[in-house]
Structure 1
Amino acid sequence: IAKALIARLHEFCTDRAISLLDGDLVRQLLSSRLGFSKEDRELNIRRIGYVASEITRHHGIAICALIAPYANARQEVRDWVSQYGGFFEIYINTSLAVCQKRDPKGLYQKVKDGEIKNFTGIDAVYEKPEYPDITIDTANIDVVVAVEKIIQKLISSGYLKDESCAA
């Protein structure tokens, strides 16, 4: 969804850089020494949030595609980014059964086999967002429809105008 959203945003935001902060890639490159304890997960989210706030401060758009399981860490990131521009929280709320069925990385199978512990949503907490800007359930819609729902919400919320990005 993140990559498709960026492609669609480029149609509106021709004058602004759009950066993808992919949770897996950021963890590999900036947080490789961190584990999956609550403290390490919060630190990883803060690192991504700091980078996102710097992108925003320089008039860019940061798309953060990651699992951020803790409400307090998400709020901290919202506060940082909001100092410099808008913050729009997209909650991808897809059922555990659908996630397990898809399992593109084989992670749910590894959890089932006992190879992975502290897996978010299984044996590690995920605090659902109380007031996300939009909630998308991908169980019955494809990426194109999900992205269009996000674009329409960005327009109705004033982040995008018919032909351009709002500042």
Structure 2
Amino acid sequence: MSALRGLVVWLTGLPGSGKTTIATAAAERLRSMGYRAEVLDGDWFRAHIDPEAGYTREERIKHLARVAWVARLLARNGVVALCSFVSPYREAREEARKIVSEEADFLEVYVRCPLEECIRRDPKGLYRRALAGEIKNFTGVSDPYEEPLSPDLVLDTVKNSASENVEKLVNLITSRLRDSRGA
């Protein structure tokens, strides 16, 4: 019996880099093509699934492991899980890959945007607050971001438009799904 497998697309990048914008538009596009797709977003996940999650390195690693388990459940049931999380540490992303890869494909997508541009965009005013010392352990300001060493895809949100990045991501996802289904 061959069940349709989904996959997990792990979008990582600095706060304000465009991860959720790209993930949401890609999910909509995939749904319009007949795929089952869900977005797991950092703000939503912390608010509804893991509200006790903190921001120390250890707390973030535990939190992202929980995200990976939820994404794995979705993927093994044929859903494309688009995970939009800063996930600043390579260690946490590798752990997510290990968790997911037992039952589904895992794609790491680096949403690249220079810190200066993220600070300029600052859609939620978080950089302003972090730079003023009001937010501790803020990625890019008082906590490091470890860029992926060999992501499956790099989406540059300064050089490319959101629609160009969505197109690149959807092409990668549909290609991977076709390959895994032998189509």
TM-score clears 0.5: yes
1:74 and 1:80 map into 2 onto residues whose CA distance is: 10
Which of 139, 144, 149 is matched with 1:130 structurally? 149
The structure whose residues are more often strand, as a share, is: 2
Please, which of 74, 97, 106 is the counterpart of residue 78 of structure 1?
Answer: 97
- Structure 1 residues 77-113: Cα deviation after superposition (integer angstroms, max 9, x where no partner): 1122122221111100100011011000000110122
Partner SS, residue 159 of structure 1? helix
Following superposition of structure 1 onto structure 2, how do residues 21-100 of structure 1 map, counting pairs within 5 Å?
Answer: 21-100=40-119
**CA deviation string 1:40-66 (max 9, x = no partner):** 111110110000011111121111011
Q: Which aligned runs of 4 or more in structure 1 are off by greater than 4 angstroms?
A: none
Q: Distance in 2 between matches of 1:18 and 1:146?
A: 17
1:94-113 map, 5 Å: 94-113=113-132
Contact between 2:131 and 2:141, CA under 8 Å: does it hold in 1? Answer: no
Alignment length (residue pairs): 160
Counterparts of 2:49 and 2:62, CA distance in 1? 11
Q: Shift in Å at residue 21 of structure 1? A: 0.6
Q: Alpha-carbon deviation of 1:154? A: 3.5
Give 3-state SS (helix, strand or coil) of 1:64's partner.
Answer: strand
Give the deviation of 1:11 after TM superposition: 3.5
Q: Choose which of 25, 28, 49 in structure 2 pairs with 1:4.
A: 25
Is residue 2:180 matched to residue 1:159? Answer: no
- 1:120 alignment partner in structure 2: 139
The runs of 5 or more residues in structure 1 that have no matched partner are none
Question: How far apart are the structure 2 equivalents of 1:166 and 1:9?
Answer: 16
- State the TM-score, normalized to the length of structure 1: 0.88
Partners of 1:28 and 1:40 lie apart in 2 by 15
Distance 1:59 1:160 in 2: 10
Q: Aligned residues: percent identity?
A: 36
Alignment partner for residue 20 of structure 1, among 31, 35, 39? 39
User: Which residues of structure 2 form unaligned runs of 5+?
Assistant: 1-21
Q: Who is 2:16 aligned against? A: none
The structure with higher relative contact order (CA 8 Å, sep 6+) is 2
The 1-side partners of 2:169 and 2:50 are apart by 29
SS of 2:105's equivalent in the other structure is: coil
The one-letter amino acid of 1:140's match is K
User: Mean Cα displacement is larger for which, 146-155 or 131-140?
Assistant: 146-155
SS at match of 2:73: helix
